Chains A and B, each alone.
Chain A
Amino acid sequence: MLDRHNHVLQLIGVIVLALLILPLGIVVVTSFGTEPTISFPIKGFTLAWYANIWTQPAFVDGFQSSLTIALLASLLALLIGVPAVYALTRFDIPQKAWFQTLFLSPTLIPEIVIGFALYQTLVIAWRLPLWPSLLIGHLLLCLPYVIRLVTSSMLHLDPHIEEAAWTLGTSRPRAFFTIVLPNIRTSIVAAFMLCFINSFNNIPISLFLNGPSQNMLPTAILNYLQNNYDPTVSALSVVLMLFTAVLMLLMEKLLGVGALTTTETN
């Protein structure tokens, strides 16, 4: 019985993996094609499309803005989210549930609505420049990930370990950094990665807060695809995949083996 279960599971695993990998594999292959339009299978091999990425200012600028916004939004989300979670889980705050809902609410609203609403308020009504508006939009996108992941690991953390640190002569802020933070590190790293990837990939919010002076990579790719259907986009996708993979590996190396792949248990 168990054996059959295992086989079924394995089969499902293989199918899912195939569905994930196959399209990616095709993208990788098409990025080397010599045809002027994306086609599969390819007839010849060239690296020209990779070179072409760097000749497109929209891509280069877009990459830079997306990277900056994603990093800043993720960091800001952590700086706001982690203390907020700490307060919500450790102090008796009136209206606790209300705050919790507030912080998580961006996930409940379609992103396209958030983008539109922010455009209306920040850009049209308040006449805020695009860049800060974009940052705020991406911050809203990121905050729920931080709140959710960090809350669950804070709830798993025995509140007495912090108290033990205090009784041993450690002030509250110091105990936070030496005792709480190391124990919720995994969820912070995971939250950062999710924030970064989601912000970096986001289209709906960026779409509204984009402008000629402020281009984001995903929207730049969309724009490009509307006029061209050449393998530059495939090449760019491959570069992005590699970029993300390297980033993951770096985080994993910097923050300890297993930080991203294991779930927090203590």
Chain B
Amino acid sequence: MARLTLDSLAMTYGHGDPILHDLSLAVADGQLVSLLGPSGSGKTTTLRIIAGLLQQTSGTIKVDDEDISRVPVYKRGLSMVFQSYALFPHLTVFANVAYGLKRQKLSKADITAKVTAILQTTGLTDLAERYPQELSGGQQQRVALARALVVDPRLLLLDEPLSNLDAKLRVAMREEIRRLQLQLHTTTIFVTHDQEECFAISDKVAVLNQGKIEQYAAPEEIYHHPQTEFVARFIGFENFLPVNGTVADHAYRVGDQTVAVAGPTKPDAKVLTIRPNQIQLSPDDQGLSGQVTIRTYLGSAYRYTVDSPLGTLQIDGPTETPVAIGAPLHFTLPADQLLPLEA
């Protein structure tokens, strides 16, 4: 239950290249913020720096107004859930959860009461006397959460907590995490490389690329208005048309073609982007035409790779009317769906 402020964090391991550059982030009280980024983008590094498990090269970390940049990990009052869950193998579920409370000056009765309550909340009451090895992945995950939450942390840090679970359980657990987080009003940082997962439960998402935050906004904003090509690619935009000029104030030049957009053009636009399912097939052979080179079946649609005058495009089409490889495909780019990007 606190605000988190990261100010110009930088990190270099040993004498290597810098991993984080000038990373700043403000998280409001009670929010769940996701760090989203590909493998190696510095998500774990950032989380471990916040936790105090790694010392940043420079920059400050504040919780509310307290500067914790140099506070040792065990005095920070932040809980972390690890990807491997990191349960204590020699302790029962109950003792695992009680472990953090033992360091607080609490009576035995208080500890038992708190542990019992959180086990109840997380649905673990019946498993209290089991050992971690005797639990399924989902149950271990719950214990890790209960253990982290029972100490009433100022911040909850989650490092890809769902990546070891199967798809179905992942959806159930992420909702569970969100429910607990809202119920306890715990400010939470959630690390993931799965965009769907983080869009589903986050108040805000910070997209990380090579140790820099490319965009920090609400999920809806990021989904509809990615600011950079990197962010757009990461969230499912597949088509990037290089822009080499504007035509009046309603169209861009792409190669030798003119592509109309809705709204005024931006002089600094570098690429136009659009999702494969936003491109429209034209049944009456109108619009642009290209040739299908690859067809993949996605279940809900076919995805065509199309050689067109605009370059190679990814276009989704309905499964009822498949287009054969080698056949021509006619399509139009809806002007109001094309997104100009300046970086």
Instruction: Please list the residues of chain A having a beta carbon within 8 angstroms of any beta carbon in chain B.
Output: 158, 160-161, 163-172, 178-179, 182-183, 266
Contacts and interface: CB of A to CB of B under 8 A. Distances in A.
Between A166, A169, A170, the greatest number of chain B beta carbons within 10 A of the residue's beta carbon is seen for A169
A263 to B, nearest CB: 14
Interface stretch (B24-32, B96-104, B286-294, B334-342): B96-104
Please give me the 10 A-B residue pairs with the lowest Cβ-Cβ distance, nearest first. Answer: A168-B100, A160-B86, A169-B103, A164-B86, A266-B89, A160-B82, A182-B90, A161-B86, A166-B73, A167-B80
B41 interface: no
Given A163-B82, A266-B89, A170 B103 contact: yes
A49 B41 CA distance: 76
A165 B99 contact: yes
A169 B151 contact: yes
Given A161-B88, A161-B89, A163-B53, A168 B151 contact: yes
Contacts of A167: 51-53, 73-74, 76, 78-80, 148, 157
B282 interface: no
A172 B72 CA distance: 10
Between B76, B99, B151, the greatest number of chain A beta carbons within 10 A of the residue's beta carbon is seen for B99
Interface string B44-61: 000000011100000000
Nearest to B81: A164
Contacts of B77: 169
Contacts of B84: 158, 160
A262 to B, nearest CB: 13
B87 interface: yes
B231 to A, nearest CB: 30
18 contacts: A160-B86, A163-B80, A163-B86, A164-B80, A164-B88, A164-B147, A165-B99, A166-B52, A167-B51, A167-B52, A167-B73, A167-B148, A168-B74, A169-B100, A169-B103, A170-B100, A171-B74, A182-B90
A161 B147 contact: no
A52 to B, nearest CB: 48
Contacts of B88: 161, 164-165, 179, 183
Interface residues of B, number: 28
A164 B90 contact: no
Contacts of A168: 74, 79, 99-100, 103, 147-148, 151
A139 B121 CA distance: 53
A248 B87 CA distance: 31
B244 interface: no
B336 to A, nearest CB: 48
Contacts of B100: 168-170
Contacts of B90: 182-183
A250 to B, nearest CB: 22
Contacts of B157: 167
A172 B103 CA distance: 13
B133 interface: yes
Nearest to A167: B80
A71 B52 CA distance: 41
Contacts of B74: 166-172
B53 A266 contact: no
Contacts of B104: 169
Nearest to A179: B88
B295 to A, nearest CB: 44
A163 B133 CA distance: 19
Contacts of A165: 88, 99
Contacts of A178: 99
B89 to A, nearest CB: 4
A161 B90 CA distance: 11
A107 to B, nearest CB: 30
Interface string B138-174: 0000000001100100000100000000000000000
Nearest to A92: B14
Nearest to A161: B86
B57 to A, nearest CB: 16
Contacts of B86: 158, 160-161, 163-164
Contacts of B133: 266
A69 to B, nearest CB: 33
Contacts of A164: 80, 82, 86-88, 147
A168 B75 CA distance: 9
